Structure 1
Amino acid sequence: MASLINIGLSGLTTSQAGLHTTGNNIANSEVAGYSRQQNIQRAKGSLQEGQVFIGTGTTLGDVRRVYNAFLDAQLQTATSLNSDSTAYLGQVTPLNNMLSDSNTGITGALSNFFSSLQSAANKPTEDASRQLLLSNAQALSGRFNSLSAQFKQQNNNINGNLGTMTSRINELTSSIAQYNEQISKASATSGQPNELLDQRDEAVRQLNELVGVQTVERNGSIDVYLKNGQSLVLGKTTNKMSAEPSASDPTQFAVKLQRGSTTMDVTNSISGGEMGGLLRYRSETLAPAMNELGRIALVVSQQLNSQLGQGIDKNGEFGAALFGDINSDKAMSARSTPKVGNAGSAALNVVIRDTGKLSTSDYQVTFVGPGADKYQVKKLPDGTDMGTFSTNDDPAPVIDGFSIDLRAGTAAVGDSFKITPTRNASAEIDVVLTDAKRLALAAPLTATSGSGNTGTGVIKQPVLTSVLDIADPAQRLELQTGIKYSTPVRLVFGSETTT
């Protein structure tokens, strides 16, 4: 027969274990990832006495985590989305503050420039107004340059952060794989190792702070996948991530995933977490902002230079360019980047033809067969097909305000180039005019009636209809050097004249 003392002692021992579990819960209440635990009691085996079974007391059946898989999955998702939003906000806020401030943004500098342009146009003979216009033009180009430098610094910071985060992700995935192994061993010989389970869940939560992942439980282990289905952890094995210059654009780091001997670019499929927020900010905000700023710089340069080239300066000569040539050899070559691994030796020039038709997009040019004498153009990032063109086309076709010329070398089928028509323009804009007297603030043509005219006929102010071609090297050279004003033209109407 069971001893009453032993039965009572089993109850005391089980209750004492409950106090231990409660104390452990209190002690770990501030530990990240800790799950509250509870004791599971069960009856001891009974002893048969004659025709009946008499109980022998109670025992501690298990110590379990108070855990809900659904709530944990919601926590992991919320953690990923929160980190994504926080990272995005942390990047976009200083950009917004910089552009909206009249002292640091482009709006104030543009306003000052056009105000001084209007003032100089109203007082073309006043040297002070001319000098103020020239000074504000220099201030405007300096503001473009400064904003571009800050954009590029932010892009460099993102590159550095991606490298740091991939290293941390690799550390966490290695920890999860180790927890998988330890939990499998412990579960095979005893009950659930609650602390190891908590630590593994916490590692997954920290991983979601960096990049959005999904988990699948398999034989006591969990496999970890990116949102596109690529695996980071499979049981006890891991696949490493890295951040390195993109093959198509070395100025932007790409996120690579190594699976055995294969390395794949997963940049465009990453979402969630701090990394997802940074990549989303770079693609949706930073890159378009850099391109938009460059487009404004190109429009200002082309339109002002073109207009000044059709006027007369204070020396009686056709005006010279105020801003640098937007189609200089350096500028045209910098707008295309060959993909790493291209088989051919081709180098491309991107010529701006019409700034009014430029977009804020980048483009991908791919040479196609059979003889690589044709190239296909796609707009990024959505991949919109802009058409397939021949390298023999003369003149080269205009695509969204620009054209592509084969500068040197030969292309091979499959060779690819990234085209950035506007990205670098804000960094390259500069004032090349140093003499304020060279500002062309007067019309090149005027009409005055002859002194001997007796009729009532009136001739309107003539208009110069020829427009400078910014893609024509000869005309650009003339604009940079200035053209001597030609002699007056006399128009004869019957016996009356107009000069």
Structure 2
Amino acid sequence: MGSAILDIATSALRVTQRALDTTGHNIANVNTEGYSRQRTEVGTREPQFSGAGYFGTGVQTTAIRRAYDEFLDTRLRKATTGFAEVDRYYAMTRQIDNIVADPDVGMASAMKNFFNAVHTVADDPTSIPGRQTLLTEAATLTDRFNLLDNRLKEIDAQTQRDLRNLVAEVNATAGEIAQLNQKIVYELARSQGKPPNDLLDRRDLLIQQLAEKIDVTPVPQDNGAVSVFIGNGQNLVSDSRTSTLGLKPNDLDPNRQEVTLTTGGVTTTITQTLSGGELGGLMRFREEVLIPTQNKLGRLAAGLALRFNDLHAKGYDLDGNTNLNFFSPPTIPVLKNASGNITATYAADASGNHTVQNLQASDYLLEYDGASYTLTRLSDRTQTTLTGFPATIDGITIDLDAASPPVAGDRFLIRPTADAAGQIATDLTDPRRIAAAANDTSGGAIGDNATALELAGLESSKLLLGGKATLQDAYSQAVAEVGTLARAAEISRSAHETVKEQAQQARAEVSSVNLDEEAANLVKYQQAYQAAAQVVATATQTFDTLIGAIRR
């Protein structure tokens, strides 16, 4: 009897000691990120049969489990991914908004001052100071275009740097998850299925951190490992093996990086399949805000330079010279992944005026399959089959290079507006070379201001957006569109932040450590330990009494 009581009491001491250890572990990790509160689960030991029936043999620890809810964890992961994406998107979009809407940096004031100077020349076409003022304001205008273009290019470079850093972070986190997979599989096998809670918490935290960078889908495996998928089911982590994210230059545009995934030595481009997280926010910002803004600014610069040159070239300067460009005319870059060549120029009507009203703020992809040419407007994915050359569409003319025509599989990226703001410059330095007259000034038309009046009239002419918007209108619309995107992103960010906070709170209610609860558990387990110790003392006294009686 004494031995049975002692054994029961000892089992109670062991179980209570483990419960105290678990409680202490919870208290110690109250501020540990990703830690899930643990609890000691106990059960009775196998009873012992006797003639009077079954006698209990004490208590045993059955498991130490963490307070974990897979549904809440999944909810938090998705909320984290959504918030991280819109947060990065909003932060980058706000940079663009601050630049284009700034009156000291934006184009509105520079264009106004430029056309005021044109009006001054029209009022007095022979005034050299007025002409010099026009050249000064023109230089300010082109510098402003160049400045904005450079700022947008700097943001693009920042985007590329951030993308590289995110890819490196994703790879590092994926590697840690794979290592934890290996440890967890080993520990589960060694313990015959008992969960290594701290390792599981660490792996879940890494998956949550990975979700901040990119949308991920973890899939538990039978052996205790977790496979992690990204994009359209591309495997990033499988047991202890990982695939590697990378970056490579776009086949057509080397300044644009494409995301790749390398698995078993095979590399695949997966840019179009990725979404969510900071990485998804960066890519969405580039496609929805940065590139369109660059193209809209370039369309404004090209439209102004081409139409101003059209009129200026028909006029005469103070020395009777004509056919003079006021601005350096922009050109259309054509990037290729091809054996052959094509050319692209700005289209003009029968009178020689460039049809800038048809220009779209977009890049174009021209593909030749050996039988037909397909032109895709990348801003809205509109496709057109070109049946003959030269072909004119959206204010540009495309022609084949007779000396080196395209072959099957050739691809060309045509960028009529993306670089125009960086190209624009003033072509004149001598104020006498400004063509204000409509007639040869050497023939006595020295005071003729007809061309200057036409140039001044461009300020109010509806040159862009299908002939529906002035230069100022087009710029204001571009600014408004960026502002609208920034405001929408701000609202979306606030909503996603609320969802994330709610998900965090819901998980915390289940999994976080409550110090009041743990303090109560300490008292409870302490009392249980003392009671078990008292049973040990009683059993010892009983055994000693029995021994003493036998000795007598």
TM-score class normalised by the smaller sequence: 0.7 to 0.9
SS in 1 for 2:365: strand
Q: Does 1:204 align with 2:172?
A: no
Residues 113 and 249 (structure 1), Cα distance of their counterparts in 2 relative to 1, 3 Å cut: same
Which residue does the alignment assign to 1:404? 398
1:353-368 equivalence runs, <5 A: 353=347, 354-368=355-369
Q: Of the candidates 248, 258, 263, which is equivalent to residue 262 of structure 2?
A: 258
More displaced 10-residue stretch of structure 1: 279-288 or 75-84: 75-84
Given the two structures, how large is their TM-score scaled by the length of structure 1? 0.82
Aligned-pair CA distance for 1:382: 4.5
Aligned-pair CA distance for 1:29: 1.6
Which residue does the alignment assign to 2:419? 424
Aligned-pair CA distance for 1:439: 1.8
In structure 1, C-alpha distance between the alignment counterparts of 2:98 and 2:303, rounded to whole Å: 24
Contact in 1 for aligned 2:47/2:54 (Cα 8 Å): yes
Which residue does the alignment assign to 2:94? 93
Aligned-pair CA distance for 1:319: 6.0
In structure 2, C-alpha distance between the alignment counterparts of 1:252 and 1:29, rounded to whole Å: 45
Q: Of the candidates 191, 196, 199, which is equivalent to residue 193 of structure 1?
A: 196
Contact in 1 for aligned 2:362/2:418 (Cα 8 Å): no
Which residue does the alignment assign to 1:435? 430
Q: Does 1:290 align with 2:294?
A: yes
In structure 1, C-alpha distance between the alignment counterparts of 2:15 and 2:121, rounded to whole Å: 95
In structure 2, C-alpha distance between the alignment counterparts of 1:401 and 1:69, rounded to whole Å: 56
SS in 2 for 1:398: strand
Q: Deviations over 1:34-56 (max 9, x none)?
A: 11111111111111111511111
Which structure has more helix as a fraction of its residues?
2
Q: Deviations over 1:464-492 (max 9, x none)?
A: 99xxxxxxxxxxxxxxxxxxxxxxxxxxx
Q: Of the candidates 230, 234, 237, which is equivalent to residue 233 of structure 1?
A: 237
- RMSD between superposed Cα atoms in Å: 2.2
Given the two structures, how large is their TM-score scaled by the length of structure 2? 0.75
Q: Does 1:324 align with 2:328?
A: yes
Contact in 2 for aligned 1:386/1:399 (Cα 8 Å): no
SS in 2 for 1:141: helix
In structure 1, C-alpha distance between the alignment counterparts of 2:117 and 2:393, rounded to whole Å: 35
Contact in 2 for aligned 1:224/1:231 (Cα 8 Å): yes
Aligned-pair CA distance for 1:312: 3.4
Q: Deviations over 1:402-443 (max 9, x none)?
A: 111234523220111111111111111000111212222234
Which residue does the alignment assign to 1:12? 13
Q: Deviations over 1:103-131 (max 9, x none)?
A: 11122211211222222222323222211
Aligned-pair CA distance for 1:262: 2.4
Aligned-pair CA distance for 1:170: 1.3
In structure 1, C-alpha distance between the alignment counterparts of 2:334 and 2:203, rounded to whole Å: 46
More displaced 10-residue stretch of structure 1: 145-154 or 11-20: 11-20
1:329-368 equivalence runs, <5 A: 331-332=331-332, 335-339=333-337, 342=338, 344=339, 346-353=340-347, 354-368=355-369
Q: Does 1:213 align with 2:230?
A: no
SS in 2 for 1:350: strand
1:29-68 equivalence runs, <5 A: 29-68=30-69
Contact in 1 for aligned 2:342/2:405 (Cα 8 Å): no
SS in 1 for 2:211: helix
Contact in 2 for aligned 1:155/1:252 (Cα 8 Å): no
Q: Does 1:272 align with 2:276?
A: yes
Q: Which amino acid aligns with 2:358?
A: K
Contact in 2 for aligned 1:312/1:440 (Cα 8 Å): yes
Q: Deviations over 1:109-164 (max 9, x none)?
A: 11211222222222323222211111010111111111111211221222222222
Q: Which amino acid aligns with 1:323?
A: F
Aligned-pair CA distance for 1:317: 4.0
Which residue does the alignment assign to 1:104? 105
Q: Which amino acid aligns with 1:263?
A: T
In structure 2, C-alpha distance between the alignment counterparts of 1:40 and 1:227, rounded to whole Å: 40
Q: Which amino acid aligns with 1:379?
A: R
1:438-477 equivalence runs, <5 A: 438-444=433-439
Q: Of the candidates 387, 390, 404, which is equivalent to residue 389 of structure 1?
A: 387
Q: Which amino acid aligns with 2:113?
A: N
More displaced 10-residue stretch of structure 1: 258-267 or 291-300: 258-267
Q: Does 1:375 align with 2:369?
A: no
Contact in 2 for aligned 1:38/1:66 (Cα 8 Å): yes
Q: Which runs of 5+ in 2 are unaligned?
A: 348-354, 442-449, 455-552
Aligned length: 433
In structure 2, C-alpha distance between the alignment counterparts of 1:237 and 1:285, rounded to whole Å: 37
In structure 2, C-alpha distance between the alignment counterparts of 1:402 and 1:245, rounded to whole Å: 27
In structure 2, C-alpha distance between the alignment counterparts of 1:254 and 1:163, rounded to whole Å: 10
Aligned-pair CA distance for 1:195: 1.1
In structure 2, C-alpha distance between the alignment counterparts of 1:417 and 1:251, rounded to whole Å: 15
Q: Does 1:303 align with 2:302?
A: no
1:115-126 equivalence runs, <5 A: 115-126=116-127
Q: Deviations over 1:370-421 (max 9, x none)?
A: 4xxx42111215432122333xx3xx11111111123452322011111111
Contact in 1 for aligned 2:361/2:379 (Cα 8 Å): no
SS in 2 for 1:14: helix
In structure 2, C-alpha distance between the alignment counterparts of 1:12 and 1:118, rounded to whole Å: 98
SS in 2 for 1:61: strand
Could you tell me the percent identity over the aligned residues? Answer: 33
In structure 2, C-alpha distance between the alignment counterparts of 1:133 and 1:73, rounded to whole Å: 63
In structure 2, C-alpha distance between the alignment counterparts of 1:62 and 1:317, rounded to whole Å: 96
SS in 2 for 1:309: helix
Q: Which amino acid aligns with 1:435?
A: D
Q: Which runs of 5+ in 1 are unaligned?
A: 447-460, 466-499
More displaced 10-residue stretch of structure 1: 163-172 or 286-295: 163-172
Contact in 2 for aligned 1:319/1:439 (Cα 8 Å): no
SS in 2 for 1:422: coil
In structure 2, C-alpha distance between the alignment counterparts of 1:33 and 1:136, rounded to whole Å: 59
In structure 1, C-alpha distance between the alignment counterparts of 2:231 and 2:405, rounded to whole Å: 40
Residues 382 and 240 (structure 1), Cα distance of their counterparts in 2 relative to 1, 3 Å cut: farther
Q: Deviations over 1:17-41 (max 9, x none)?
A: 2221111111112222211111111
Aligned-pair CA distance for 1:284: 0.6
In structure 2, C-alpha distance between the alignment counterparts of 1:8 and 1:349, rounded to whole Å: 93
Aligned-pair CA distance for 1:182: 1.5
Q: Which amino acid aligns with 2:293?
A: A
Which residue does the alignment assign to 2:539? none
Residues 114 and 430 (structure 1), Cα distance of their counterparts in 2 relative to 1, 3 Å cut: same
Aligned-pair CA distance for 1:305: 1.0
Aligned-pair CA distance for 1:16: 2.4
Q: Which amino acid aligns with 1:309?
A: A
Q: Which amino acid aligns with 1:338?
A: K
In structure 1, C-alpha distance between the alignment counterparts of 2:292 and 2:152, rounded to whole Å: 11
Aligned-pair CA distance for 1:316: 4.0
Q: Deviations over 1:193-227 (max 9, x none)?
A: 11111111111111111111111112122111113
In structure 2, C-alpha distance between the alignment counterparts of 1:319 and 1:313, rounded to whole Å: 10
Q: Which amino acid aligns with 2:397?
A: S
